[in-house]
Amino acid sequence: MSTPAFGVGTFRLKDQVVIDSVRNALELGYRLVDTAQIYENEAEVGRAIAESGVPRKDLFVTTKIWVDNFSRDKLVPSLIESLARLRLDHVDLTLLHWPSPGGAVPLAESLNALAEAKSQGLTKAIGVSNFTIDLLRQSIAIVGADHIATNQVELHPFLQNRKLAEFAAGAGIHLTSYMTLAVGRVMQDPVLQQIAERHDATVAQVALAWAMKLGHAVIPSSTKRENLASNLKALDLALDDSDMQAIARLDRGQRLAAPARLQPEWD
């Protein structure tokens, strides 16, 4: 099962807020739910999934291993704990959330532990997040490109990550875009506003449709049911070449997710 093109993210959502968001998303037709150990909301996500009534076979659930759990002796046990919180016997995709800070845990150790989790049936697929071209090259050498389902990275109209996207495409590795709406900054952009008006769409729909037209999956989050419903309509929005060219010119390398301890040397 390949990664769906569209899902709901849960970053920064906690407690009843995340339960409501995931419940609304599933009711509206979303089938990919993205969470992570460090979000501290896996239990609430699991509750929303359990109460949704959506058959497990129709869902695609992603979680991410936090950097403190990258060692061989911690990774699989931490994923088992995540599954208990999620009330699932497996997830569909498990990612290394960030490169190991300072290379504290060798990449081969964490990727091989992740591969072991897959062989045990704890996750159907594995991948990485916030990985650079160099780190992807290393990952390919360790487990092979066929075993890297996605690289989840910050990617939006103001940070288009073209070098990384080109390398990933050449290697056959899919990208998942997070922060596709640039934490709301896309809403104020006049170029995106004009494109939205031309298509009788919202600016959020334009940004999401742009990323999907480039071949990336998107996982926008929202606490409002009407926004979740509106975002989903991006699947039906067809941008033309002039739209894509106009958005391409918006790239200014504006990175928003830059935690000091975790950042690799970006491309």
Q: What are phi and psi of 205, to 5 degrees?
A: -60, -40
> Any bridge partners for residue 64, and if so which?
95
> Which two tokens mark 13?
């959502």
Give me the torsion for CA of 128, 129, 132, 138, rounded to 10°: -20
Contact at 8 Å (CB) between 162 and 251? Answer: yes
Q: How far apart are the first and last CA of the chain?
A: 30
178 as an active site residue: the answer is no
Query: Which whole-number Å values give the CA distances from 203 to 161, 198, 254, in the listed order?
Result: 20, 11, 18
List, as own/partner pairs, every contact residues 13-18 make where C-beta atoms lie below 8 angstroms and the sequence separation is at least 24, other chains included: 13/39, 13/41, 13/221, 13/223, 14/40, 14/41, 14/44, 15/41, 15/44, 16/44, 17/223, 18/44, 18/45, 18/48
b (16+ CB within 10 A) / e for 38-68: bbebbbbbbbbbeeeebeeeebbbbbbbbbe
Task: Tell me if 97 is assigned to a ligand binding site.
Answer: yes
6, 30, 39, 178: which is the annotated catalytic residue?
A: 39
Burial of 241 (0-12, 13-18, 19+ CB in 10 A): exposed
Sheet with 8-9, strands from edge to edge, namely: 8-9, 32-34, 60-65, 91-96, 123-129, 151-154, 175-178, 217-218
**Residues taking part in catalysis:** 39
Which positions make up the binding site for substrate?
97
Which positions make up the binding site?
97
